[in-house]
């Protein structure tokens, strides 16, 4: 098991609502990346935070936003939920961008169902 934790484990929302997912990074890691994994697909990069600043974003609309806190934990916020947002949301932590060979370690994920 990695030291990356995510909450909640499961969540059910209705279309149009807003959701906040949380991630605690592994000790010693200052970079958090978020991925969306739709059913039967590989994870897709949403965005990354390094030392509380967004550092890279994938092909996701602005209603997907995030935060990183001074303790390097992170939140993913999704506004105006759509049915297609139903997926497993994965958080990954790593040591930082200065270590280019570094490995991303994933948490167990939050499964979001939008009805």
Partner 1 sequence: AQSVAQPEDQVNVAEGNPLTVKCTYSVSGNPYLFWYVQYPNRGLQFLLKYITGDNLVKGSYGFEAEFNKSQTSFHLKKPSALVSDSALYFCAVRDPTNAGNMLTFGGGTRLMVKP
Instruction: Kindly list the residues in this chain that would bind partner 1 in the complex (CB under 8 A).
Output: 2, 4, 6, 31, 33, 35, 40-45, 48, 55-56, 58, 90, 92, 94, 97, 100-109, 111
What is the CB neighbour count within 10 angstroms for residue 29? 20
Query: Minimum Å distance from CB 100 to partner 1?
Result: 5
Query: Minimum Å distance from CB 21 to partner 1?
Result: 13
Query: Minimum Å distance from CB 48 to partner 1?
Result: 6
């Amino acid at each position: 098991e990695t030291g990356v934790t995510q909450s909640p484990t499961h969540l059910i929302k209705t279309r149009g609502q807003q959701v906040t997912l949380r991630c605690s990074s592994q000790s010693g890691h200052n970079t958090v990346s978020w991925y969306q994994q739709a059913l039967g697909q590989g994870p897709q990069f949403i965005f990354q935070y390094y030392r509380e600043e967004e550092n890279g974003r994938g092909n996701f609309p602005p209603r997907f936003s995030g935060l990183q806190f001074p303790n390097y934990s992170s939140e993913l916020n999704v506004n105006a939920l759509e049915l297609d947002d139903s997926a497993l949301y994965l958080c990954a932590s790593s040591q930082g961008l200065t270590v280019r060979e570094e490995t991303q370690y994933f948490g167990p994920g939050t499964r979001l169902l939008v009805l």
